[in-house]
Amino acid sequence: MVVPSPFVYWAQTDKSVSLKIELRNVVKPDISVFNNNIKFTTRGVGAHGDSQYEFSLDLFASTKPNKDGDAATVRIFDNRVEVILDKEKPSWWPRLTAQPQKPAWLKINFDLWKSDDGHDSEEEARDVMQDYPGMYDKLQKEEIGYRKEDLKKVYLVLYNLFQLIGFVYVLSVMAIRYAKLDYDSVADTYEHVGPAVKFLQLMMYLEVMHPLFGYTKGGVLVPFMQVSGRAFILFVLIDSEPRMQTKPVVFYLFLMWSTIEIVRYPFYITQIYKKNIYILTWLRYTMWIPLYPLGILCESIVILRSIPYFEETQRFTISLPNEWNFTFDMPFYLRLYLLLLTFPATFFLMSHMYKLRTVKLRPKIVIKKCK
């Protein structure tokens, strides 16, 4: 009679290997580990019902006793048995077994696939995809027949791709209309691409929430300032005042914004897959040098041109008396906002981008050992 084997799920760090054995009602499993071989025998409830189960594996490399002197650390739960083996030499194994072929009941526990590098900070922690690019993909392809993508990664790629297509559409419409009508197309820019720009701008608030949800690294303040600054210019000053929508500055403002984004979003997609395309990286951290000041100049012109309109219409201005006993003068706020935008905000944003450029475009020093 052939004794069945249970389903075994394995994972590793650079120092240990863990086995999760899917069996219920296990009391005292018989586990023996000798050098690079492990044998497991017990009675429990598994895929073949209540039965005797066993398996034997020749491991890829040698193991050593744990700190208590035991060959393995064994933990028994109601629905599984966990076995942890310490590696004799810290390293990443390309597979669990000595031979390339693995039994059908041996699976990979991708949820536990991580690196134990001794860091407590989540930002400093690494994973096997960074340490050994290609190994994780290879194991997943062997396990399930294709490269399994993280849902967060799929979402980020789709988001960045959607935004890229959106701003390419905006630029394309502007370019085609300018090619056909020349400068006469400038006055109708907002009418033709304004709705698309507004929708894309609202979508950008997802970028503010991505760090909060742990989808991306970095802070919230800088993206919030950038997105909210654009939203204020677009929705409060341009969209609410029809006379501003026909000004040539709107054309140039959309041109600056869209040109920045058609480089930024492809760069983000390459970073998601940890691909470094130097020309794209260089453009991402160089194009801002002329485009950001020009964009801020266009935004400043929009604010200056809007002040007389808001003085005339008193839109968004709250005067006393009112039930809240509160006053708000929109033209005064615009002058104050212009002052802050021209000096502190511009300095903060440019300094932030300069620091990023210094880090991202820093020459890599390669140390070669002399023979």
pLDDT at residue 319 above 70? yes
**Per-residue confidence (pLDDT) for residue 138, from 0 to 100:** 59
User: Which residues are the active-site residues?
Assistant: 292, 299
What pairing do the DSSP bridges indicate for beta strands 73-76 and 81-87?
A: antiparallel
Q: What is the pLDDT of residue 123?
A: 37
pLDDT given at position 121: 34
Judge contact between 215 and 268, C-beta under 8 A. Answer: no
Task: Compute CA distances 363 → 71, 271, 278, 280, 366, whole Å.
Answer: 47, 18, 12, 16, 9
Non-local (6+) Cβ contacts of 123 within 8 A are 217
Q: Which of 57, 106, 110 is nearest to 85 (CA)?
A: 57
Give the pLDDT of residue 120.
35
| DSSP sequence for 148-184 | PPPHHHHHHHHHHHHHHHHHHHHHHHHHHHHHHHGGG
Could you report the per-residue pLDDT of 334-347, keeping only the tens digit for each?
999 999 877 888 88
pLDDT at 137: 59
The predicted pLDDT at position 117 comes to 36
Q: What is the mean pLDDT of the chain?
A: 86
Residue among 364, 160, 130 at smallest CA distance from 267: 160
Tell me, what's the pLDDT at 360? 84
What mean pLDDT do residues 248-273 have?
95
Q: What local confidence, expressed as pLDDT, does residue 150 receive? A: 72
From the list 143, 122, 113, 136, the residue with the least C-alpha distance to 16 is 113
Return the axis-axis angle of helices 248-272 and 288-313, rounded to nearest 10°: 140
Classify strands 37-46 and 30-34 as parallel, antiparallel or unpaired.
antiparallel
Contact predicate 286/357, CB 8 Å: yes
Q: Report which of 296, 290, 301 is spatially closest to residue 249, judged by C-alpha positions.
A: 301
Range of lowest pLDDT (93-102, 110-119, 335-344, 356-365): 110-119
Is 70 exceeded by the pLDDT of residue 125?
Answer: no
Length of the chain: 371
Q: 87 and 37 in contact (C-beta within 8 Å)?
A: no
Per-residue pLDDT at 14: 85
Domain with CATH 2.60.40.790 in the chain: 8-116
| pLDDT for the residue numbered 69 | 79
- Per residue in 142-161, pLDDT (tens digit) is 555 555 557 888 999 999 99
Q: How confident is the model at residue 118 (pLDDT cuts 50, 70, 90)?
A: very low
Q: Residue 156: what pLDDT?
A: 94
pLDDT at 38 > cutoff 80: yes
When comparing pLDDT for 227 and 349, which is higher?
Answer: 227
8-116 maps to which CATH number? 2.60.40.790
Residue with tokens 């984004």: 261
pLDDT for 324 equals: 86
Beta bridge partners of 50: 45
pLDDT in tens, 74-98: 999 989 999 999 999 988 888 888 8
